[in-house]
Structure 1
């Protein structure tokens, strides 16, 4: 009896060439007992306000509220949650009307919705060099062609950006100007002003992704691109509660200019109708009752100590000639090893020593710097950080 051929999945052409995230693959390797991982951009679970969130979920699931909290909802999002997010953004210097917000299932979904609305196959999109890996995946899945913008230790170069706009006529710019992923750098005020001028003059649609802005350990808060005259009409501002509340809530949002609100809402209707009603209701309740400033100050205090522990040890850990930055906030340090080193090739030796990091190469849209790697300092205590870095020293020296 002839055996029928194995079925071949009819995968769409847009998925061809889109690889699984190497960060996710590395995280899977680090789940082994005993591994100290600096790979994931994970908030510290012991700092979750589990008691406050437990109370919030209990309140929205009691007999008076459950009928609403477990029902279908509006695509735009829970009105109370939108109001509280708008109030927080306004307090941070980004005046926001609740009607200008679309609640999404994490800010990653906001990226997908924007790509759905604005990008056609073959469109150029300008990205920082290096760039947040999941954003690159999202744009490539939409068929867009990422074009890297030259960056230095202060971030994106506005003059280079202006030249690339003239050359490529891109559909979008994507930027994480504050505590960038993967590098941790922050665009200084003079460059923000210059970038806003280019956006306004060129009419350049821009995604300003700000998942880490509340995690500042030094310096003064930065003014958002979306808050600047001229540029504001072209900037879609994304953020999330994943880093300050809990990623499991999957609460993100996009603050969109008026011209894009309806198209984004239609795209979300087609994607999932709306984000989880009960999670939105519980999050709104949590925001209403938590002392958010006190909660954030606790996060900042703990993460600042962990950042400093990593910074103090790195000079004795890295090979001579290495460089690394000193971010004012966020979750990441960016390391460049000396010439002749390859962070991807060195990773197996690190895993053998029960420590992990993310090689920098996957974060580049085109030509990668193989010497780079990303370290996250938020998940482990200072003692664990020192232990993990000693393991990394042995791996890099071997």
Structure 2
């Protein structure tokens, strides 16, 4: 396939899907696994911090106690006990929920894809932060969605800009990651969340709130999701996942939403994948019931904070004078901006040759990409490797890269 067109002699496929093409980020993630490469590109949690022994026990005990059920087909909407557990988890976060309010998905990415199929359609407009999560754009684009950027500052979406964009574009949905956003690491404060909820409550538009990172917090108290506002109960879809707090290989995510839309999402999921793995759901549930999540997360948070501090403290040395970068209160990413005329895309090939890789920020923009931006992930690389990667970046911008 070249530029979305299949080679001659191959029967046709969906032209719109084929035209989406490949992902440059996927190629960078492939490069990041090269021998000797230090990766600041990956959005994966740290392998060495997984509770392998605990998860193994859960699988063994589930198979011993409920083997036939664990190996059998299950309901499309998910195991009722797991949905109830998630409901209690969300209620504690401020979104009152029961099992009936939730559908289990194979990771939150499947949830994004289902929402793209059910809520969106050809030409439907989605308002997003700018920059935003690329894989959400890919999922929504499969349904033919169009994207419009909302002005975003150091606190997330600007409420006045959101209101103006809704009036101007008549969107079907607003997509946001208000907590430790990917790619910027920005968290929307409580007062701003209330203002955004005020705007959304005034308009006939879906809120799609993506929340994979909120449990990876370092010092701040958790903020209630925007979707917790009772005025948005009938028009909000809230996505979560165990990928960042237990293990992404389990592929356990969820959508919380109104019953009418969950019914359609369930029917759509049934046609696409039938169900999420029964044994994975039951093992995740067993682990959750037999472990204190906060207790398990505390050492992970502490290690991630060490890695964040190592990266942020080193960036002033590594990046050109005049660069700016944040110190996120949680999540997985640092967002940096180089001074003009530096271009993170042009510098990347030099960085890769020097054995360090990051993601240029321009890949995440819906509109008006800024070439001097870059996303650096700190969670999947040890402190020692981060220090070495910082030295390699210093060499890139001090000696090797010519503007």
TM range (shorter): over 0.9
Q: Where in structure 2 are the equivalents of 1:17-36 lying within 5 Å?
A: 17-36=19-38
Could you say which residue in structure 2 is the equivalent of 1:15?
A: 17
Distance (whole Å) between structure 1 residues aligned to residue 134 and residue 313 of structure 2: 28
Q: Does the 8 A contact of 1:172 with 1:205 survive in 2?
A: yes
For the 8 Å contact 1:23–1:40, the answer to whether it is kept is no
In 2, the alpha carbon distance for the partners of 1:206 and 1:93 equals: 16
Contact 1:197 1:231 in 2 (8 A): no
| Residue 186 of structure 1, CA deviation | 0.5
Aligned to 1:172: 173
**1: CA distance between counterparts of 2:371 and 2:23?**
17
Write the distance in 1 (CA, Å) between the matches of 2:305 and 2:140. Answer: 33
The total of aligned residue pairs comes to 393
SS in 2 for 1:207: strand
Distance 2:304 2:32 in 1: 21
Residue 240 of structure 1, CA deviation: 0.3
Provide runs of 4+ in structure 1 moved above 3 Å. Answer: none
Residues 173-226 of structure 1 deviation map (CA, whole Å, 9 limit, x = unaligned): 100000000000011122111100111111321100000000111222111111
Unaligned runs of 5+ in 1: none
- Match for residue 158 of structure 1? 159
Secondary structure of the equivalent of 1:244?
Answer: coil
For 1:187-206, list aligned pairs within 5 A: 187-206=188-207
Provide the rounded CA distance (Å) in 2 between the counterparts of 1:234 and 1:386. Answer: 45
Shift of 1:290: 1.4
Distance between the aligned counterparts of 1:290 and 1:14, measured in 2?
45
CA deviation after TM superposition for structure 1 residue 150, in Å = 0.9
Q: CA deviation at 1:254?
A: 0.3
Match of 2:378? 377
Instruction: Pick the aligned partner of 2:63 from 61, 84, 103.
Output: 61
Aligned to 2:327: 326
Q: Which runs of 5+ in 2 are unaligned?
A: 1-6
Determine the structure 2 residue equivalent to 1:147: 148
How many angstroms apart in 2 are the aligned matches of 1:211 and 1:199? 22
Q: Do structure 1's residue 301 and structure 2's residue 292 form an aligned pair?
A: no
Map of 1:51 onto structure 2? 53
Residue in 2 that maps onto 1:37: 39
Match of 2:209 in 1: 208
Q: State the match for 2:3 in structure 1.
A: none
Q: 1:21 deviation in Å?
A: 2.1
How is 1:1-398 mapped onto 2 (pairs within 5 angstroms)?
7-62=9-64, 64-397=65-398, 398=400
Deviations 1:85-127 (A, max 9, x none): 1111222222211110000000000011111111111111101
Counterpart contact for 2:116–2:141, Cα < 8 Å: no
Q: String of CA shifts for 1:238-279, please: whole Å, max 9, x gaps.
A: 010000000000000000122311111111111111101111
User: Following TM superposition, by how much is the alpha carbon of 1:6 offset from its aligned partner in structure 2, in angstroms?
Assistant: 5.5
Q: What SS does the corresponding residue of 2:202 show, helix, strand or coil?
A: helix
| TM-score computed with the length of structure 2 as normaliser | 0.95
1:347 touches 1:357 (CA, 8 Å); kept in 2? yes
Following the alignment from structure 1 to structure 2, what is the Cα–Cα distance between the partners of residues 306 and 367?
A: 31
- CA 1:201–1:9: 2 relative to 1, 3 Å: same
Aligned with 1:202: secondary structure? Answer: coil
* C-alpha distance in 1 between matches for 2:369 and 2:19: 17
- Structure 1 length normalisation: TM-score? 0.96
